[in-house]
Amino acid sequence: MSSPSPRVARQAPVASRDTPVAQLRLLKIDLHTHILPERWPDLAKKYGYGSWVQLSHQGCPPGQADMMQGGKFFRRIDCNCWSPDARLKDCNATTVDVQVLSTVPVMFSYWAKPEDTLDLSRYLNDHIAQCVAEDPKRFVGLGTLPMQAPELAAQELRRCVQELGLAGVQIGSHVNAWNLDAPELDVFWKAAEELQAAIFIHPWNDATETPDRMKPYWGAWLVGMPCETTLAICSVTMGGVLDRFPRLKLCFAHGGGAFLATLGRIDHGFNVRPDLCATRTKHPPSHYLNKIHIDSLVHDLDTLKFSIAKIGADRIMLGSDYPFPLGEHHPGKMVEESDLDDKVKDAILYKNAVKFLNLDATNYQ
């Protein structure tokens, strides 16, 4: 497949005689992209029940397909959602060197029988691993897990990291009725910490549980998702997850949702109502800012600068939500064209991701 195009938005650093060549190339790593296989088995037929997601190519223009959930239209997608070649064409046009691949959150299927979600997760994880194997310089993979069965999730996480060579997994901001501090999930967090797996936490909503008030004006996405992510961060902080597992590597999507903007209120609430908020940890959520990461997907430079001031440039990684319309259409452009310091740009565009994903940067040169 095609090779990466050089970065054009910034000047490469000047080489000194002693600088190893491998250190000269700037990278751009997009931590937040979604991919699906082009086809997969009829899951309702295979498992015998349920509103599974299928991809229907029937009746669509060439290069497009419809995601159907339980037979109902969910979303039309383009071939860059499944075709590595189409993705790389876009990457080359936008100077993205590496895409981190994860499934589309509607595929989490936490509502189903654990053994069936495990079976589907394995299928999707094998597909992502295959995409990475076919182009290991351009793709890094994150798996998906049957989080409703934490023992099985831990087992599949081990397979993802140790057998498939994935960098970690993407999980939901909640698991059905559980927030991320549910004691049942500790077995998963323990495995994630042991493996030093990258955990990308992405909001999702169950359409059947979305209140009607949240439906107009794309409310479930524009309002519900940032709220979901905020609750997820409150759960891992106030719920003591980061006390029990302090070496976890967590990244929250969409700039951490509304968390940073409401952190003053949340901390204040923690302090004035310890009976409600300080039941599982002694520390307010701001205490854990140096233990979590967020992606850069906030669509506004002032908000990004505010996020940098709050959480630090070493905690933010480029994420575009490719290939979906709510994402940053030219990944990294806002950072590249900003007046941010070059060191800050490098940290956000690739250096933090190299560390977070346990990558050897020389493999992507």
Angle separating helix axes 186-195 and 150-158, nearest 10 degrees: 10
CB 320, min distance to Zn ion, A: 9
Q: Which is nearer to Zn ion, 100 or 238 (CB)?
A: 100
For residue 96, the number of C-alpha atoms closer than 13 Å in the C-beta half-sphere is 30
CB 171 within 8 A of CB 202: yes
Q: Where do we find the tokens 């854990």?
A: 288
Element (H, E) at 232: helix 225-238
Could you tell me where the DSSP H helices lie in 30-105? 43-47, 84-93
Closest distance between Zn ion and the C-beta of residue 129, in Å?
20
Q: Closest-CB residue for Zn ion?
A: 321
Q: How many helices (H) and strands (E) does the chain have?
A: 14, 11
Instruction: State in angstroms the smallest separation of the CB of 48 from Zn ion.
Output: 30
Instruction: Return the structure tokens found at 7.
Output: 């970065």
Helices 114-134 and 150-158, packing angle to 10 deg: 20
Q: Considering the complex, what minimum distance in angstroms separates the CB of residue 324 from Zn ion?
A: 7
For Zn ion, the closer of residues 181 and 321 by Cβ is 321
Dihedral of alpha carbons 77, 83, 89, 92, sign: positive
Q: Are 345 and 9 within 8 A, CB to CB?
A: no
Specify the pairing of strand 64-69 against strand 72-78: antiparallel
Q: Which is nearer to Zn ion, 321 or 328 (CB)?
A: 321
x-or-dash string of contact with Zn ion, 138-177, rule CB under 5 A: ----------------------------------------
Whole-number minimum distance, CB 32 to Zn ion, in Å?
A: 6
Judged by beta carbon, residue 152 or residue 198, the one nearer Zn ion is 198
Is the Cβ of residue 205 or residue 281 nearer to Zn ion in the bound state?
205
Binders of Zn ion among residues 270 to 329 (CB under 5 A) are 321
Least distance (Å) from Zn ion to the CB of residue 202?
Answer: 5
Number of residues interacting with Zn ion: please give it, by CB under 5 A. Answer: 1
Q: Which is nearer to Zn ion, 199 or 242 (CB)?
A: 199
Which residue, 204 or 245, is less far from Zn ion as judged by CB?
204
On the question of a cis peptide bond just before residue 323, with omega within 30 degrees of 0, the verdict is yes
Q: How far is the CB of 81 from Zn ion (least distance, A)?
A: 12
Task: Enumerate binding residues for Zn ion (CB under 5 A).
Answer: 321
